[in-house]
Amino acid sequence: MAAILVPPSERRSMRRAFRSDCQAVALDGFRLVGDRILDLSPRGLLLACDDEIVTGEELVVSFRAPDGGAFIDVEAVVARVIGGWRPYDPGYAAGLRFTRIDAPDRGELLSRLAGLPPPVPHRRLRADYAETVRRIGVGLA
């Protein structure tokens, strides 16, 4: 059976161009690792980091929802680290995946993200390999 790669337009969660202040604190040592969101989705965010961070590290992040919404507290894990050495990188940053967000906060975030544009891509959009593999695993591909 040949799987069809999932195009970026079918990703489960769309990133939105949203920049804001936040407080991202590592659970190990309770140190502040970053204070700026570079983009946001209902499943995670891109964090500009001021301190070294590693994949798998667990964080607590507090931020205000777009357009003056409520303050939201989430638990997240570092999914990837961006070294900041490529010309289109936003600097040293980390992609965070939310591991715990309260249902009312998720609803607030979803409603306030609606209508915000996606971030401007700096490179060609690639197929979503992780979603393709997930769909193969559950028999959807």
Domain annotation for the chain: domains and CATH numbers: 16-126 (2.40.10.220)
pLDDT per residue of the chain (141 residues) written in tens, 0 to 9? 455 665 555 545 566 667 889 999 999 999 999 999 999 988 999 999 998 999 999 999 999 988 888 899 999 999 999 886 767 667 789 999 999 999 999 999 888 888 766 665 555 556 677 777 888 888 765
Contact between 31 and 128 under an 8 Å Cβ cutoff? The reply is no
**Distance, CA of 127 to CA of 132 (rounded, Å):** 8
